[in-house]
Amino acid sequence: MLLNSKFEAEEIERERGTIIEELNMYEDNPLLKIEDAFETCLYGDTPAGWDTIGTISNIKNFKRQDFINYLNRQYGTKSATLIVSGNLPKNTNNLVKKYFSAFTKNDWKDKVKVKENQKSPAILKFVKKTDQVTLSLGVRTTAIGSKDEFVIKLLAVILGGSMSSRLFSEIRERRGLAYTVRTGAEFYSDSGYLTTTTGIKLNHEEDVVNLIIEAYKKVSSELIPEDEITRAKDMLKGRLAISLEASDDLANWYGRQAILRKKYVTPDDYVKKISEITAADLRRVAKKIFVEHNLNLALIGPIDAKKEATLKKALKF
């Protein structure tokens, strides 16, 4: 694919329609769209804040030569890493040399670095006629490889990473305000965030925003009980074991790290780092990331100016 693709004009034209329909699918599914909406709230009109799929205008106007130019610049010996996993044949090294020798030295262009300079809470709405409001409320954190990365992962599980997590229990089980509630953490090469996403009943947006903020405040001020920490640790370790059962999963594990990390983390390293986290670590990091000026709220639904103003006032600690 990388060395011998023809980029036939007819195939490019056919694929345009497919990609536009994929974009439309995201636009029609708020729980998918909210991820991009939150990153736009965080990073604004910068490459980090743009939708990966692009715009309909760009999709319609790309020319064959645009793809060839991009391939020649971004794919080559300067930027390619091959990860091989599984029951490898004896001639694996020879095959690698054979095919990699056909790569040329490329003039690879790195991403534009993210500039973190948020001074006050931010809110971004996408007005849409829907039967519920989908929101994502989170904070900026750290890049991949930071000393707090695994603490933040564990915080996300405790807050909303399972059906027994704090926010799932509070928003869905106790109050019946939502079906889906999840907290997750994302780490990029020079930025990261933790956010809670949910689809809620209309006119309960302020209630849910307050509940999420209260949960963030609580882990910042109180030590989390050891049994709760142990359950969250066991869940992360179990998910890791399941996610690495297949050879292609293991290759993906190391491939992602080859691109983003300065130093590889093995599955054993991962388990060790998770096991060593203490209640004091969790509170320390929570205090650092859950601060008022760090809050970001993205919404999709029938949000008018009055409701937006009310929600912006609710973004406080």
pLDDT of residue 175: 96
The percent of residues in the chain predicted with pLDDT above 90, rounded, is 86
List of residues 6+ apart from 276 with CB closer than 8 A: none
Statement to judge: residues 16 and 127 lie in one domain: no
Rounded to 5 degrees, φ, ψ at 192 are -170, 170
Statement to judge: residues 62 and 198 lie in one domain: no
Alpha-carbon gap, residue 231 to 157, rounded angstroms? 9
pLDDT at 47 over 90: yes
- pLDDT, tens digit (0-9, with 9 covering 90-100), for 70-116: 999 999 888 888 898 999 889 999 988 888 888 888 999 989 999 99
User: In this structure, is residue 291 part of a structural domain?
Assistant: yes
DSSP string, 152-166: HHHHHHHHHSSTTSH
Task: Please compute the mean of the pLDDT values over residues 260-267 and round it to a whole number.
Answer: 92
Alpha-carbon gap, residue 38 to 36, rounded angstroms? 5
Statement to judge: residues 94 and 223 lie in one domain: no
pLDDT at 172 over 90: yes
pLDDT of residue 2: 83
Statement to judge: residues 177 and 220 lie in one domain: yes
3-state secondary structure of 308: helix
Statement to judge: residues 96 and 130 lie in one domain: no
Number of domains in the chain: 2
Statement to judge: residues 198 and 284 lie in one domain: yes
The percent of residues in the chain predicted with pLDDT above 70, rounded, is 100
What's the one-letter identity of residue 79? S
Statement to judge: residues 169 and 36 lie in one domain: no
pLDDT of residue 225: 98
pLDDT of residue 235: 97
Pick the last residue of a domain from 100, 131, 146: 100
User: In this structure, is residue 111 part of a structural domain?
Assistant: no
- pLDDT, tens digit (0-9, with 9 covering 90-100), for 110-149: 899 999 999 999 999 999 999 999 999 999 999 999 999 9
Alpha-carbon gap, residue 226 to 259, rounded angstroms? 35
User: In this structure, is residue 304 part of a structural domain?
Assistant: yes
User: In this structure, is residue 112 part of a structural domain?
Assistant: no
User: In this structure, is residue 105 part of a structural domain?
Assistant: no
User: In this structure, is residue 296 part of a structural domain?
Assistant: yes
DSSP 66: H
Report pTM. 0.93
User: In this structure, is residue 276 part of a structural domain?
Assistant: yes
Among residues 276, 38, 44, 54, which one has the least CA distance to residue 137? 38
Statement to judge: residues 24 and 144 lie in one domain: no
Residue 189 near residue 153 (C-beta atoms within 8 A): no
pLDDT at 242 over 90: yes
Which residues form the domain of 62? Answer: 9-100
Statement to judge: residues 26 and 154 lie in one domain: no
pLDDT at 3 over 90: no
CATH code for the domain of 138: 3.30.830.10
- pLDDT, tens digit (0-9, with 9 covering 90-100), for 147-163: 999 999 999 999 999 99
Statement to judge: residues 83 and 148 lie in one domain: no
Place of tokens 């006119």: 203
List of residues 6+ apart from 305 with CB closer than 8 A: none
Q: How confident is the prediction for the chain on average, in pLDDT? A: 95
pLDDT at 164 over 90: yes
Pick the last residue of a domain from 100, 130, 163: 100
DSSP string, 143-155: -TT-TTHHHHHHH
